[in-house]
Structure 1
Amino acid sequence: MFANEMAEAACVIGHKRPRECNEEVEEPQKTKKKRKVDEDTCQNQHKRKEKKSRLSAGLFGEDCEIRHEQVYEFLKYAALGKRHNATQPSWCHIYHQRHLAKVVVIVLQEVSQLYFYKFYLQFKHLRRAFQHRFSLPPTSANFIASVCGEGISMKHQNSMQGSASAYSGHIPKNSDLQKDPIIEKYGEEKHGLTSYILTLEEMRKYDYPLEGSPGCGNYVHTQCESPRTDSSPLFGLDCEMCLTEKGNEVTRVSLVDAEGQCIMDELIKPETQILNYFTRYSGITRKILRPVKTKLPEIQDKLKKLLPCDAVLVGHSLNADLHALQMIHPSVIDTSLLFARHKGRRFKLKFLAKAVLGKEIQSENKVGHDPTEDAEAALELLQYFIDQGPRKVVELNLEMVLSAPNLMESSQQKSALQLQQNGVQKHSSEPPSIPKPCFLDHLNATGQKTLLLSRKELASSGLCQNSLSTSNKQILKRAIQEVPLSSFSVIQFTLRSAHDAPDLVAEVCEKMRIQLADMLTVYAGPFDKDFCLKSLRREFKKCGPIQSLTVLTETHQVQRPVTVMMLDCDMLIKELEMDIENEGVIYVAGVKKTLTDTDLQEKFSHLKDLQALFWPRDLKSGKHRNYCFLKFQTSESALEALQDINRQGAKGSQLQSRKALTSSHLHRWICHMDYNDGKPIQLVHHILHMKKEQLSTSEQDIRKKLKKLDRSIKKLYRSLENNTLCVVLLPGVNSVYGSFSGLGLMGIKEESRSSAC
């Protein structure tokens, strides 16, 4: 605000000469017009300079589920920026965070993902206003506290703040320190970079290319022979390889300087024919390499020119990269050896980047690894090691951090009684919390007002309640008044009233399963008497997975059952096709289960602007299903791909495609179609038929309440100023009938989008 006022004052000063306060001079008409034009021009320039905040999240497929602590990480960064150790979250980037006007979190208590998709048409505003959507684990005992910071364990606090502290705050004892391989080699004190350069004996031991070594006769020297000092320039190096007739040959190389600037990123044409592109790891495809003419000798010459005489190369298992480049360099630092483990084992670069730097690299959403990203991560790891020293690195207790998920998973399979009897420390999915101030305290300390509005019966959230209300209507009224005065607000609406039955979620779930079964049933016929059942199944499998196939041996006149849900089906399909979540996403059926991930990536590598591929697995068998989802950068590219795949289908291909109708994270719902607590669906049909009247009343009641909630959110959303980050959280439900995942929706309010909604 202050900067804008100063800029406007500067414009006025630039276009108006100063006068005494009491001086009155009548200016000519032309001068007034000119001044008005100049002032309008300045205002337009300032409007153009104002940057809008935006979100970028690669939420697709299995990566759509975001943990509560990750939501905390996101909200903390949105509220604080880079202050108080807040770091950019790995799963969603906020561009121009400091231009955010406010942050508003809306919690719909007792509402789950199931409600959203079951009553999809009722959420008219929610499904159109928010661009990003993600799954949430079922609600914790204290949902608001878990996503706003209180009650988060020390382990979670440390990981979200981007610091690399030891697991559960554990610091090794001095006796343990002396036995650590890092301390044994480097001691406890800090050193300069020359102390971490591999010696000649170490390079020979770890198979680095050296003069006179077997197989290195034709290797090229970098000719960097000057003495190294602690101020010598550092360069990160990483390569990607493909399998050729000659073996592993380099197809891409990246070089990054100490400031993180990429000074070289080149594709290389291998000498011999490629047998396997390793697309899943290398990101290289036939299409990418087709126009490349650059050969390895050209890259070698370029590297020799780029590297100074005293350059130090840094990488993770750098020996493989130098062998692939067929180059010899005398001074290297290998981060896989620097962060040493017992018995010669090594940490993966992806783990070190996450545990030490708080960075997410080699994401599953991306097709292949990014060598520039990997080279930069190796450089940052070395710089961390130099700045913090060996003792601080050992105190990270990386071995414990690496094994923690396995410890927690195994401990969940045992009872608390067994753990106590065996004297084993109890681990859970949420370790014991250590009280720590949440980021709302930091906001309050800097004079920024925070707001939490909720119902009286929900007042045990663990956070300081600013206001308690008795109804959603009251909450909405107060929110519209008080949110503009607060920089961070949490508004909690609730679905249930005192007169509602406590377990409506079970009824909704059972009825939705039956309706899904009705919608997914197809009647086909008549067939010849000698038709082949195997051929019929194979033909229908082209359209997607078949749950069951029943043959009627007698002639019947079959009609699809008509229900209210079926009458709304056409409308629902149109809305799903237009869903902002499905923009640029297509569904492809007929995928052969014998294919590998790499085969499938290569099969679709020719499609323009392909951003991500998701191939669901069966939750029980772990095998891939015969359909997948393709996500493109633009809806136009998705439409072109759809037409291309269907053209191939017309020519005999097994693949068939259409616009996606559901979010890719809903593939997990398929398991709900098989059984309900061990009871076949037919039995559930019978049970629900007995409760028809009761279910109908309950469902209508929920439908009305959800529609009111959607309207309340719309009113509140419209009252927000532009550039406000709005996050809507449906916590999910934990009940005796089972756990139901939650849902998160988020977006930054824009004038065009808010008027459209």
Structure 2
Amino acid sequence: MEPEKEKTGRLNSQRRRVPDWLMGTPEVRIPPGSDLVDRQPEPKRARLSGIVMAENCEITHEQLCELLKYAVLAQPVIERPRWCQLLYGKHLSRTVVVILQGMSQLHFYRFYLEFGFLRKAFRHKFRLPPPSSTFLADVIGLPNQRAGYLPKTMGGSLPSTSTKPEVDLQNDPVIQKYGSQKVGVLRCLLTEEEMRTFDFPLQGSPDCEDFVTTGCNASVTENSPLFGLDGEMCITSKGRELTRISLVGEGGSCLMDELVKPDEEIVDYATCYSGITEEMLKPVTTKLKDVQRRLKALLPPDAVLVGHSLDVDLRALNMIHPYVIDTSLLYARERGRRFKLKFLAKAILGRDIQRSERDGHDPTEDATATLELAQYFLKYGPRKIAELNLEALWRAQDPRNVREKFQYPYRGALTCFDSAHQKLLFVTRETDDIELPSPEDCETIKCLSNREVFEQARRQVRLYPFSIIRFSFEPFSPLLTEEVNKRMRIKWTEMSTIYAGPLSKDCKLSALKRLFRSFGPVRTMTAVLETHQPHLSIEYEVLEAAQLAIESLNGVLVEGVYIKVQRPVTELTLDCDTLVKELERDSENRATIYLSGVSKDFLGHTQELPKLFGGLEAVIVPPDAKSGRQEKYCFLQFKTFGNAQRALYVLTGKDWKLKGRQALTPRHLHAWLRSSPPESRRPAGLTVRPPPSERETLQNLKAENAKSAARRWSRKIGRLYRSLSPGTLCVILLPGTASPHGSLSGLGLMGIKGEEEESTGPSMGL
């Protein structure tokens, strides 16, 4: 690889002309001697680097609380958040949190064009889990006293069950799932459908082709042996990989406790979670295949594996096992939520695990706890579990007794403010059914409408170092939510699909496959023979690949025929050209580029890229959805738009032989789309719509009202944002919705006033 000076010099001296079919984007010319990289020393002003560490870009409410505490107080006693970087936090002028209650990630992308200000102003976006009934308490640290009783002490045991309210056995989720009578092992096993729903590795699944089976294929009985299993992972260049595994038998004996050295280079030992350090792994020679071989030898043919979120451990092992009991699902909760293992061990077994005085989890201790939890369930039955009223126990205890202190020390922002003798501002609607802080804790303003909330916020927010502004909106009905969710996934599938043709009847199909795959990963490629001359229908994994193919191949001569490349025209793709243009202007995408055709050699030298391209913040290589291997495409995230365009110019030149363009899909959305179930996709093409019924008409009217609200309130939040002083950390939260009919993930957007204009350039049009 050439030094930066030589490569840049040659680029400046040679004005190249590259055919469109090689480039995929209009040529970006750099005047001789110009340099888009700002080499001046950075002033010390607050700045965010939102390199989200989670694979699916989901940030928990507790993690968000940690960022807010650090931003507001920025004291040595406040631990830095691990999932993003806040640089020069002492230079923040204030922190403002805006909550759009009733809205979710689905709302944001359903009304993406209407949320003009939000998508352009906030570069850092992340997914939130569906909200619990204590959303504000989790995120901000507001008091939660609805459970009806309080913990006995700040640092000790769970509250006494004698003070719990009456248990509604009929509606208890454990009773609803298992009935009130005792059950056996067979009833506790996850069905194949449940394993598929909760993403367990299964034989025949497209993403488990390289997985090995445990070889346990005998019939399971009520007397089949149970084995507790738990693993710990580190972060490597490939993603999360196994570094320790424990297997415990029914008698409590540890049958296996092995350290494992990953094949890929470790980039983060995650010691605070895994307990693994570099020194521990230095002498280790055990590899994943050795662990797989030993597990197959240890487990009898009818073995039942027990774990907590066991799908994660099995995927880390790259193994398939047909008989599992998952304690996170066995002890069922409402709306698909799950109890933490630490909480269940304390509430059921009276045992403290994952203690804060040591670094990381002990997988043997965790495996033993999961095994004993399963045995307790089998011994006492669902009715006994329901009578414990675990949900009330969970709500009632002080958050500091629940959260794993080693992971995210939970001390609410409100508590921190009180210790610093400061108040926060809380503006909300009077009719909102939430617990409000006491006057000693904050200045609370209750309003009659969202409009009044907005007006009060504009007047008051500049007077407080920390403000919470809460607007409330009517959520979608469950029926409409299901329909919108399905149609949104179909819309993105159709936008990522292209038709190419006409093709010569003598064309070489293998050459065409190579041509279209050069733009990105292909999900399906089928021949269309209904036309006079054959065409191809290609569905890509990512929107960028489809757009790049259209821009590069439309009107190009392919094997003697000029082909037309276009998207299918359906009701869902009529506005796709507008949507693509706005996605390019999204502040998260403007400084990110998509590259296709990257090789292992290229990915193996990513550490050299910052030397060639200034402002490179991250190299994102999504794993293949089927095999888990690294894809032949990646995203490069830069600090500024100029950095990204310069890198795109160089990397798509003749020296690199890559194809690329500006990114279109925010990372959290890409993760959501990749998780799309097959049944939510449909073949692109003509569809016949039945005449709208009265119910459908009403649903469309509701959607139109939501669209108007999205447009109106995006503008109002823009006005509020512009009134803030430079250096203000602004966090916008669409909490999501929780419903028995299906919960929706939330969405978070954040930025620092004055930072985004510098990063994305003046063309944002804020």
TM-score computed with the length of structure 2 as normaliser = 0.53
1:429-480 deviations in Å (ceiling 9; x for gaps): x966632673314424654332222234532257559233342112112222
Q: Distance in 2 between matches of 1:603 and 1:97?
A: 29
Select the residue among 381, 398, 423 that pairs with 2:358: 398
Matched residue, 1:92: 84
Q: Partner letter of residue 526 of structure 2? A: T
Q: How does 1:269-668 map to 2 (within 5 A)?
A: 280-281=265-266, 317=279, 396-398=356-358, 401-403=361-363, 421=381, 434-435=397-398, 438-444=412-418, 446-461=420-435, 463-464=437-438, 466-496=444-474, 501-556=477-532, 561-562=568-569, 566-591=573-598, 595=600, 599=604, 601=606, 607-609=612-614, 610-619=616-625, 621-648=627-654, 653=657, 655-668=658-671
Preserved CA contact (<8 Å) 1:585 1:631: yes
- Report if the CA contact (8 A) 1:449-1:485 is conserved: no
**1:573 partner amino acid:** V
The structure whose Rg is larger is 1
Question: C-alpha displacement at 1:319, in angstroms?
Answer: 12
Whether 1:136 and 2:114 are equivalent positions in the alignment is no
Deviates more, 1:114-123 or 1:462-471: 462-471
| 1:548 aligned counterpart, secondary structure | strand
Which residue does 2:749 correspond to in 1?
Answer: 745
The answer to whether residue 690 in structure 2 is matched with residue 697 in structure 1 is: no
Taking a change above 3 Å as real, the CA distance of residues 685 and 54 of structure 1, as seen in their structure-2 partners, is: same
Q: Secondary structure at the match of 1:458?
A: coil
Contact 1:133-1:744 at 8 Å conserved across structures? yes
Q: How has the CA–CA distance of structure 1 residues 448 and 512 changed in structure 2, closer, same or farther, with 3 Å as cutoff?
A: same
Paired letter, 1:622: G
Q: Which moved more, 1:515-524 or 1:705-714?
A: 515-524
| 1:282 to 1:579, Cα distance in 2 relative to 1, 3 A | closer
Letter in 2 for 1:656: K
What's the CA shift for 1:529?
2.7
**Which amino acid in structure 2 is aligned with residue 527 of structure 1?**
L
Mapped partners of 1:471, 1:695: distance in 2 = 24
Task: Using the TM superposition, give the Cα deviation of residue 74 of structure 1 relative to its aligned residue in structure 2, in angstroms.
Answer: 0.9
**What secondary structure, in the 3-state scheme, does the structure 1 residue paired with 2:704 have?**
helix
Give the drift of 1:646.
2.4
CA contact (8 A) 1:646 1:657 kept: yes
Task: Give the 3 Å change call, closer, same or farther, for CA 150–577 of structure 1 in structure 2.
Answer: same
What is the deviation of 1:681?
A: 6.7
- Give per-residue Cα distances to partners, 1:189-234, cap 9 Å, x unaligned: xxxxxxxxxxxxxxxxxxxxxxxxxxxxxxxxxxxxxxxxxxxxxx
Match of 2:66 among 73, 85, 101: 73
Structure 2: stretches of 5+ with no match in the other structure = 1-40, 146-154, 160-262, 269-276, 284-353, 400-410, 536-565
Query: How far off is 1:71 after superposition?
Result: 0.6
For 1:415 and 1:693, the matched residues in 2 are separated by: 53
1:409 and 1:484, CA in 2 relative to 1: closer, same or farther beyond 3 A? farther
- What secondary structure does 2:500 align onto? coil
- 1:420–1:453 distance in 2 versus 1, CA, 3 Å: farther
SS of structure 2 residue aligned to 1:121: coil
Q: Is the 8 A contact 2:46 2:86 kept in 1?
A: yes
Q: Given the superposition, is the C-alpha separation of residues 132 and 511 from structure 1 closer, same or farther in structure 2, using an over 3 Å criterion?
A: same
Distance 1:642 1:514 in 2: 30
Q: 1:720 aligns with which of 719, 724, 727?
A: 724
Q: Please give the alpha-carbon distance, in whole angstroms, between the structure 2 residues aligned to 1:581 and 1:401.
A: 35
Q: Which amino acid aligns with 1:658?
A: R
The residue that corresponds to 2:170 in the other structure is none
TM-score scaled by structure 1? 0.54
Aligned to 2:55: 62
Paired residues of 2:99 and 2:734 also in contact (CA < 8 A): yes
Residue by residue over 1:574-614, the C-alpha shift from the partner in whole angstroms, topping out at 9 and shown as x without a partner, is: 2222322123311112346xx49963747968752443211
Unaligned runs of 5+ in 1: 1-47, 154-164, 170-277, 284-314, 322-393
The residue number in structure 2 matching 1:263 is: none
Provide the rounded CA distance (Å) in 2 between the counterparts of 1:414 and 1:319.
32
Number of residues of Structure 1 aligned to a counterpart in Structure 2 = 479
SS state of the match for residue 111, structure 1? coil
**Partners of 2:375 and 2:679 in 1: how far apart?**
25
Please, which of 654, 674, 678 is the counterpart of residue 675 of structure 1?
Answer: 678
Shift of 1:493: 1.2
The whole-number CA distance in structure 2 between the counterparts of 1:659 and 1:748 is 23
Code of the aligned partner of 2:62? E
Distance 1:708 1:624, change over 3 A: same
Bigger helix fraction = 1
- Aligned pairs for 1:60-209 (under 5 A) are 62=55, 64-82=57-75, 85-150=77-142
Q: Aligned equivalents of 1:480 and 1:74: distance in 2?
A: 24
Residue 262 of structure 1: aligned partner: none
In the alignment, the residues of structure 1 paired with residue 453 and residue 119 of structure 2 have an alpha-carbon distance, to the nearest angstrom, of: 22
Residue identity in the other structure for 1:630: L
Q: What is the distance in 1 between the residues matched to 2:121 and 2:684?
A: 39
Compared CA separation, residues 128 and 403, structure 1 to 2 (3 A) = same
Amino acid at match of 2:96: V
Change in CA separation of 1:124 and 1:560 when aligned onto 2, cut-off 3 Å = closer
Question: What's the CA shift for 1:421?
Answer: 3.9
1:733 Cα deviation from its structure 2 partner: 2.8
Amino acid corresponding to residue 520 of structure 1 in structure 2: S
Counterpart position of 1:707: 711
* Helix, strand or coil at the partner of 2:528: coil
Change (3 A) 1:279 1:441: closer
Give the whole-Å Cα distance in 2 for the aligned partners of 1:58 and 1:648. Answer: 31
1:93 deviates by 3.3
> In 1, are the aligned partners of 2:123 and 2:588 still within 8 Å (CA)?
yes
Return the letter of the residue paired with 2:397. Answer: I
Alignment-mate amino acid for residue 489 of structure 1: S
Q: State how far apart, in whole Å, the 2-side matches of 1:647 and 1:166 are.
A: 63
Q: 1:318 to 1:524 in 2, by over 3 A?
A: closer
